[in-house]
Amino acid sequence: MKSSIKMMTVLIVVGLVSGGALVGVYNYAGPLIEKNETEALEESIYSVLPGAVGYNIVEKDGLTLYEGADKRGRTVGYAFEAKGFGYQGEIRLMAGVDAALTELLGMEVLKSSETPGLGAEITHEPFKKQFRELSVLPEIIFTKGRAERANEIQAITGATVSTKAVVEILNKEITRVRGAFGR
C-alpha cells in the first residue's frame, strides 16, 4: 500500500513539473510565433502586390482583403488569403489581384505539406512566377504542355494534383472576391 502511494506521489509531481514546463515554453514561444506569422503575412502581401508601399485591411462580404496602395495613395490591387486541400493536406496561399480584378499579380504559398520533390514545387519560383500578370478572366486553367493563353499555367510534371489544387483554390477565392465587388 505504501509503495502505491509513493508511486502516485512521484507521478503527480512529475506531471505537475512537466505541465509547468510546457506552460512556460508556450508562454515564451507563443508571442514569438505570432510575431513571425504576422511578419510573414505582411511580407507576402507586398510580394503579391508589386508597387504597394502600404495597405489597409478591408472587410467585404465576409472576406478580409488587403488593399495595397502606391506612393500616391492609389489602389494597386487587393491581396487575400485562399486555402484548400492538395494531395497531402491543406494549402494556404496569399494572392494579389489588380484593382480592376481582372489580373492576378502574384501568388505566394503560406503553408503546404505537399510531397517533397514533386508537389512541394508549388513553393518554388519557377511555378509561382507563372501567376504574375495572369488573366483571371476566364478562370485560370492549367495544361500539361506549354502554357499559351493569358489565363493558362503549365502543370508541374508529376504533381498534377498539387497544380490542380492551387488553380482550384485560386479560382474559387477570386470568384468570391470579384463577387464581393459585384463583378
Cis peptide leading into 31, omega within 30 of 0?
no
Q: What span, in angstroms and rounded, lies between the C-alpha atoms of 72 and 82? A: 28
Going by their DSSP bridges, the two strands 103-111 and 90-98 should be labelled as: antiparallel
What are 8-59's pLDDT values in tens digits?
888 888 888 888 888 888 888 888 878 888 888 889 999 999 999 999 999 9
**HSE toward the beta carbon, residue 25, CA cutoff 13 A:** 6
Q: Say yes or no to pLDDT of 1 above 70.
A: no
Q: What percent of the chain has pLDDT over 70?
A: 99
Average pLDDT over every residue of 152-175:
88
Q: What percent of the chain has pLDDT over 90?
A: 42
What are 57-93's pLDDT values in tens digits?
999 888 999 999 999 999 999 999 999 888 878 899 9
Residue 161's pLDDT band, with cuts at 50, 70 and 90, is: confident
Q: What is the pTM of this model?
A: 0.79
Look at 69-78, 93-102, 115-124 and tell me which has the smallest mean pLDDT: 115-124
Q: What span, in angstroms and rounded, lies between the C-alpha atoms of 113 and 43? A: 21
Which is higher by pLDDT, 26 or 100? 100
pLDDT of residue 81: 94
